[in-house]
Amino acid sequence: MSQSLAQKIISRAAGRPEVAVGEIVVARVDLAMMHDSGGPRRVWPRLKELGARIWDPERVVLVSDHFVPAVDAESAEILALTRRFAAEFGIRRFHDMQGICHVVLQEYGHLRPGMFAVGGDSHSPSGGAVGAFMIGIGATDMLAVLITGETWLRVPETWQVLLDAPLPQGVCAKDVMLKLLADLGMANEYVVFEYQGPGVAAMPMEERFVLCNMSAELGGKTGIVPPDETTLAALAANGVEVDAAWLSLRSDPEAVSRQIVVQAGALAPLVAKPHSPAQAEPVERCAGERIDQAYIGACTGAKLSDLRMAAAVLRGRRVAPGTRLLVAPASQRTWQAAAADGTLRILSEAGAILLPSGCGACAGLGAGLLAAGETCIASTARNFKGRMGSPEASVFLGSPYTVAASAIAGRIADPREFL
C-alpha cells in the first residue's frame, strides 16, 4: 500500500507495517507538550482522583507562556501550580517564562523528524516544520496520554501544497497561508497539509514553521514539511545529533490525495479582514483602513525572522502619531538574538513598545488588549471577535512586513512601498 509521510509516521507509532486513511489506530507518543493554560491546572486534579502518575516524565515538555508574566493574583496562582506540578512529577524539561511553547520546542531541540507528538494547544502542528507528525489535543486526551503514553486517532489523508517558486520581496509564509485560507476556507478536517516545492525549499525553518502552524487555521489535522538539508542544519544548530536517514522521510506519490499549486512568484501581500483568517484579500483592497494599534507577536509572528522583517520596514522611520506598535518577541532566545544583531534597536528607535515574551494579547491575556471601537493589525494567526479584547474591536491579520508598514502609515499599507 502506498503511504504518505504522515501514514509512515503513524504506522511506526502504532506498531504496524502500514495504516489506511480513515482507520482508527492507537499510537505510542514520542513526546507530549503542555502549557500553563491547558496543562497542569486541567490534568492534575484528574491525576489525583485516579491516583495516577505520568508514564514517562522524560517524554513530557512543560512550558509557561500564556499567563506570563503574571498580571493578577489568579495568573500568579496558575503559574505557581504549574511550577509545583513540574516539581511533583519530575518534569525536567520545564521551560518557565522562556517563550511560547511551539517556538521553545524547536529552539531547544525537543522535536525530531519522524516523531509522533501531541501538544495541548491547537497550534501544535507547528512541530511539522521539522518533519514530525504533531497534533493538538484537549485536556481529556492529554490526561490519557500522560497515564498511558498512547493516544488514538483516525488516519488522515494528505494534501500536498506545492509552492512553485521562491517568494518575491515583501511576501512571506504568512501571505501563503492567508492565500490558502482565502481559497480553501477553514473546514478542511482530517487533512494533513504537506508543504513541498521550490518555494518551500528556499524557506528558512522559521518560515516553514508558519506554514505548519497555520495548518490549524485551515482546519487540518496537522501540517508537515519533509526534512531536507535545511532541516538538518537547523536541528544541528539547536543541539540535535542529526541522522542522514531522516532525509528519506517522504510520501509515496500515489498516497497524496490532492495537490494544490501556489504560484508563489506572483503572490502579493494579503490581509485578513475581521473576524476570520479566511477573510483574506490582497492588501490593496484594505489599504487606507485607519488603525489604532499594530501588534507583532505570537508564535506565528514574532520569531527572529519576523522581527527582522519588521526592522527592514521600520529602519530609519517612525511609527505614525496616534498609532501604537507593540512587539512581543516569541522567546527569550529571540530577545537575545534580536538585541545582539541590532534588530531591537531599530524597532525601539522607530517607536515600538517592547513587551515580554509570551502569548499575551494574541490569546486575550496580558498587555496589548483592545478597547471597543479600536482597530488593530496583527501578525498573529487568528482574529476572531473578542480574541484580543473587546468584541467591539476589529482585528486585521497581516505579515510582519505589512504590520510594520501599517504602523508607519497609521493605516493598513502595502509593505512593498517601504522596502
Q: What digits encode the pLDDT tens for the residues 164-194?
A: 999 999 999 999 999 999 999 999 999 999 9
Residues spanned by the domain of 321: 269-418
The confidence score (pLDDT) of residue 131 equals: 98
Cβ atoms of residues 283 and 398 within 8 Å? yes
Q: Please report which confidence band the pLDDT of residue 232 belongs to, taking 50, 70 and 90 as the band edges.
A: very high
Residues 258 and 277 in one domain: no
What one-character DSSP code corresponds to residue 192? E
Sheet holding 222-224, edge to edge: 222-224, 191-196, 157-163, 256-262
The residue out of 235, 262, 289 marking a domain boundary is 262
The confidence score (pLDDT) of residue 55 equals: 98
The confidence score (pLDDT) of residue 190 equals: 94
The confidence score (pLDDT) of residue 235 equals: 98
Cβ atoms of residues 230 and 204 within 8 Å? yes
Residues 194 and 237 in one domain: yes
76-133 per-position pLDDT tens digit: 999 999 999 999 999 999 999 999 999 999 999 999 999 999 999 999 999 999 999 9
Nearest to 120 by CA among 92, 82, 84: 82
Cβ atoms of residues 400 and 379 within 8 Å? yes
Count up the domains in the chain and report the number: 2
Residues 319 and 383 in one domain: yes
CATH of the domain at 351: 3.30.499.10
Residues 301 and 229 in one domain: no
The confidence score (pLDDT) of residue 49 equals: 97
Residues 209 and 276 in one domain: no
Nearest to 55 by CA among 80, 20, 25, 89: 89
The residue out of 262, 287, 322 marking a domain boundary is 262
349-404 per-position pLDDT tens digit: 999 999 999 999 999 998 999 999 999 999 999 999 999 999 999 999 999 999 99
Q: What is the mean pLDDT of the chain?
A: 97
The confidence score (pLDDT) of residue 366 equals: 86
Residues 247 and 326 in one domain: no
Residues 139 and 211 in one domain: yes
Residues 245 and 359 in one domain: no
Q: Read off the pLDDT of each residue in 127-145 and give the average, rounded to a whole number.
A: 98
What one-character DSSP code corresponds to residue 30? S
Q: CA 23 from chain center: how many Å?
A: 28
